[in-house]
């Protein structure tokens, strides 16, 4: 039973492992409703994870076939990975915000070769050196491109509409749109008294938006053919303030552990990003930098030389998100005539 936690008031959490990932597990939540159990997120698509999910449900006396619906906080595979299997086994509906459903549809229809080209061009434009882009090109040419994640992600059948209550008989759960980590990330606010009478307004299923000890990855919304200039970090900071104002009595995140005092955690994260933006602004004051150059100089959890290939791509995307924010704030600008484009502090 150690993999299942009873949060009271008809809410349980099941630890579903994520293989080979330092995060360890996804906390899948089970909500008792008048129409049957509803899941918030499902976990990574892996046989061991599926076993953990079904065993956790079994410990609660629930067969997978009984699941009535699946509410997804965002499209990432550690949240949406098992949704298709759950639907197959139960006929449950799957609900997701339209902006993340768009990502699912786009990824499913993407030609992997085309995606590799896009990634290569994007990295070159960000100032990545030739030796970093070359492996992508080599993989493309050898046809080793069939492992693109998300190619088989389940297409949701319902839309989560921000601000609306989800159709869950006997429960009051409202969708709060919290873009930033993904364009269609939602938190789910259970507008019911806390079962242990903790002070505050109900409980918040926060997905990856608000975690007790991790600052979620904020990169660019990767979208070939999409010419909108988005500001994911700006979206994220706005979304943080939005959930802070809800003042939930308790937060049930999708990783790590439940916590209280959401406004304090929101303040911490806002201060963290403020500090980071200031630090990057100072780097740009010293010399104009491409996103890659900026990523190389940013503080990560280990020296740049030790950051593995895939994580460098994520780091560059994060550097670009911060640059977008600085440009929007009028604190940085592109240096005309540079290719790849370098940015300087204003």
Q: How far is the CB of 26 from Zn ion (least distance, A)?
A: 6
Residue nearest to Zn ion (CB): 76
> At its nearest, how many Å lie between Zn ion and the CB of residue 201?
24
Q: How far is the CB of 287 from Zn ion (least distance, A)?
A: 33
Helix (H, G, I), strand (E, B) or coil at 98: helix
Quote the tokens at residue 93. Answer: 């509906």
Partners of 247 in the beta sheet?
none
CB of 36 or CB of 84, closer to Zn ion: 84
Residue 318 in the binding site for Zn ion (CB under 5 A): no
Tell me the sheet residues that pair with 160. Answer: 97
Secondary structure element (H or E) that encloses residue 159, with its range: strand 158-160
Cβ proximity to Zn ion, 208 vs 250, nearer residue: 208
Considering the rule CB under 5 A, would residue 76 count as an interface residue with Zn ion? Answer: yes
Q: Does 25 bind Zn ion (CB under 5 A)?
A: no
Closest approach, Cβ 155 to Zn ion, in A, equals: 19
Q: Closer CB to Zn ion, residue 28 or residue 332?
A: 28
Note whether 208 binds Zn ion by CB under 5 A. Answer: yes
Residue 265 sits in the site that holds Zn ion (CB under 5 A): no
Alpha-carbon gap, residue 96 to 159, rounded angstroms: 5
Q: Which residues does 30 contact at the CB level (< 8 Å), separation at least 6?
A: 11, 12, 13, 14, 37, 38, 39, 40, 56, 57, 60, 62
CA distance 97 to 185: 7
Query: Phi and psi at residue 97, in whole multiples of 5°?
Result: -65, 145
Considering the rule CB under 5 A, would residue 78 count as an interface residue with Zn ion? yes
For the CB of residue 48, give the shortest distance to Zn ion in the complex, in Å.
17
Binding site for Zn ion (CB under 5 A): 76, 78, 208
């Amino acid at each position: 039973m150690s993999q299942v936690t009873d949060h009271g008031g008809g809410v349980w959490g099941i630890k579903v492992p994520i293989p080979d990932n330092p995060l360890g597990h996804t906390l899948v939540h089970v909500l008792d409703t008048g129409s049957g159990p509803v899941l918030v997120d499902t976990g990574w698509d892996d046989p061991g994870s599926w076993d953990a999910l079904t065993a956790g449900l079994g410990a609660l006396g629930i067969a997978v076939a009984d699941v009535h619906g699946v509410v997804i906080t965002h499209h990432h595979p550690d949240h949406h990975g098992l949704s298709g299997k759950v639907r197959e086994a139960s006929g449950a509906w799957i609900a997701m915000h339209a902006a993340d459903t768009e990502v699912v549809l786009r990824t499913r229809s993407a030609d992997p070769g085309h995606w590799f080209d896009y990634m290569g061009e994007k990295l070159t434009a960000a100032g990545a050196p030739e030796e970093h882009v070359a492996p992508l090109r080599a993989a493309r040419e050898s046809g080793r491109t069939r492992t693109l994640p998300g190619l088989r992600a389940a297409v949701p059948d319902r839309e989560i509409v921000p601000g609306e209550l989800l159709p869950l008989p006997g429960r009051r759960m409202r969708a709060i749109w919290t873009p930033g980590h993904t364009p269609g990330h939602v938190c789910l606010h259970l507008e019911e008294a806390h079962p242990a009478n903790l002070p505050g307004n109900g409980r918040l299923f926060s997905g990856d938006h608000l975690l007790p000890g991790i600052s979620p990855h904020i990169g660019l919304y990767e979208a070939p053919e999409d010419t909108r200039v988005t500001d994911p970090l700006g979206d994220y900071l706005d979304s943080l303030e939005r959930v802070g104002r809800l003042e939930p009595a308790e937060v049930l995140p999708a990783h790590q552990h439940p916590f209280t005092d959401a406004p304090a955690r929101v303040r911490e994260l806002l201060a963290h990003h403020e500090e980071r933006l200031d630090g990057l602004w100072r780097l740009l004051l010293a010399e104009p930098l491409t996103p890659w150059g900026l990523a190389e100089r940013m503080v990560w959890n280990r020296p740049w030389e030790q950051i593995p290939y895939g994580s460098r791509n994520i780091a560059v995307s994060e550097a670009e998100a911060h640059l977008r924010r600085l440009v929007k704030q009028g604190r940085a600008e592109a240096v005309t005539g540079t290719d790849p484009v370098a940015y300087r502090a204003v």
